Amino acid sequence: MQNKTLKMPLFLVMALVLAAFTAVSTLAQSTEFNIDEVVVNEVKVVEDGAAILDRLTVETGENLFITVKLDGLNDTEDVSIEAEIRGLESGTIDAETSLFDVKQGRTYAKFLTLKIPANARLDQDLTDNLKLRITASSEDSDEKVDVLLTIDRVRHNLLVLDAQAPESVNAGETAVVEVAVRNRGTKIEEDVFVKASIPELGISRQKFIGDLLPLEDFENEDNELSDKAVALLRLEIPAGTVSGDYALKIQVYSSDGVAKGEETAILSVKGKTAAPVQTSGSAVAIDSSAKTVAKEQGVVYKVTVTNLGSSAQTYTAEVSGVDFGTYSANPGILTLAAGQSGEFNIFVSPAATSTLGAHAFSVAVKADGTVAKTLSLSADVTDSSAGNDRLRQNLIVIAVILIAILIILAIIIAVVTGRRREESEERLY
């Protein structure tokens, strides 16, 4: 009787604890919306609200193009989606969409971009604990999903850590540029050079700094080589230079050209009093004008813009003609100094109801409000079920082969068993 008396309260306590956890779990789930799918660089990492990869591996310096699909469970106002990577020594990397409204029964595709720092220091213990967290939130509700993340360093990765130059220099004098470079790759870089140049003035200087070890070899071996170096470069500014701001380009590269890095700074020159002729111009390029994408999936068009003018310009990318799905342009605004280059990422996601085949649309790149170039692009929409059909066909073929093998094995076993019986009967006689 005593045992039964003790078991009953214990059972009740366990039931109450289970009910409490169930209630908390239910409260934690959003009743307003649901994160249905997450795709990173065309790799699906979340499906039906749960991570489907053990771990996603990316590299330093890489852009993560993230597509998040959100299902509306109820009408909700002021919803936003945030993507963040926590645990890096340099701090949290995050991006967030603007606010939007969600309607019940509808699916929304939103696009975000995260840039992995090229100079991230990656200790093994640190990278094992990284997470990519996707959060959809409103004033009254939020939903989160985590994807385990590993960031690897690329094999060849030379970086310009810092470039120090005088704020201004007089025409006819020397500008001393101090450049710090580092090997952030996993391989030794042999015969490394540092170069400083002002293309507009036609002047440049380079310096040989030798070999740079990867960080691990530098820390684990006792030798004179290092993973970093500092170089001093002297640029003679022509005496006839007109006053103005000039693009100072800093480059580090190995002799074989496999590894290279580049940074741009501004050097102010005090020279002739006559104002320089202000020129404008831009170069716009696209990685591919035609791409293939499945329904409800996403594709990225990379638009590279170079400021060919003599002063800074502000660029925007305006997308039109995407009536077959949703789109987004990141960043919204790009400000480039003279001689500097930047990149727009145009995301396009066809709707489930879009027709199959090629769909044309355009991107107008504007410099200071004036159209610099209009790109004519195309998205070839395919059926998202095509991959499933191929998988189904492959499974059927495999099943037929397995059945055939089983039949052959059954025949062999039957024949062997029959022979053994005959031999046994002969022995009995």
104-154 confidence digits (pLDDT tens) = 999 999 999 998 887 766 554 445 668 899 999 998 889 999 998 888 777
Average pLDDT over residues 59-79: 90
**Do 96 and 87 contact (CB within 8 A), yes or no?**
no
Average pLDDT over residues 320-342: 91
Strands (E), 277-421: 282-286, 290-294, 299-307, 313-320, 325-330, 334-336, 341-350, 357-367, 370-382
- pLDDT of 421 strictly over 80: no
Check residue 388 and give its pLDDT. 53
- The residue that leads in pLDDT, 121 or 206, is 206
- pLDDT of 424 strictly over 80: no
- pLDDT of 72 strictly over 70: yes
Average pLDDT over residues 315-325: 93
- pLDDT of 95 strictly over 70: yes
Check residue 226 and give its pLDDT. 81
Spatial distance between the Cα atoms of 84 and 3, rounded to a whole number of angstroms: 53
Check residue 356 and give its pLDDT. 92
Spatial distance between the Cα atoms of 209 and 280, rounded to a whole number of angstroms: 37
Average pLDDT over residues 287-310: 90
Q: In what order do the strands lie in the sheet with 341-350?
A: 282-286, 299-307, 341-350, 325-330
- pLDDT of 77 strictly over 90: yes
- pLDDT of 21 strictly over 60: no
Q: What is the overall mean pLDDT for the chain?
A: 81
- Of 67-71, 128-132, 309-313, 362-366, where does mean pLDDT reach its minimum? 128-132
Average pLDDT over residues 25-34: 61
10 falls in which pLDDT band (50, 70, 90)?
A: very low
331 cis-preceded (ω within 30 degrees of 0): yes
Average pLDDT over residues 399-420: 83
- Of 5-9, 97-101, 194-198, where does mean pLDDT reach its minimum? 5-9
- The residue that leads in pLDDT, 272 or 307, is 307
Check residue 272 and give its pLDDT. 67
Check residue 136 and give its pLDDT. 94
- Of 79-83, 161-165, 321-325, where does mean pLDDT reach its minimum? 161-165
- The residue that leads in pLDDT, 304 or 116, is 304
Average pLDDT over residues 394-404: 82
Check residue 223 and give its pLDDT. 57
Average pLDDT over residues 238-265: 86
Check residue 130 and give its pLDDT. 85
First-to-final CA distance of the chain: 70
5 falls in which pLDDT band (50, 70, 90)?
A: very low
Cα-based angle 316, 318, 321 (whole degrees, multiple of 5) = 170
Check residue 49 and give its pLDDT. 86
Tens digits of per-residue pLDDT, 166-186? Answer: 988 999 999 999 999 888 777
Spatial distance between the Cα atoms of 393 and 399, rounded to a whole number of angstroms: 10
- pLDDT of 418 strictly over 80: no
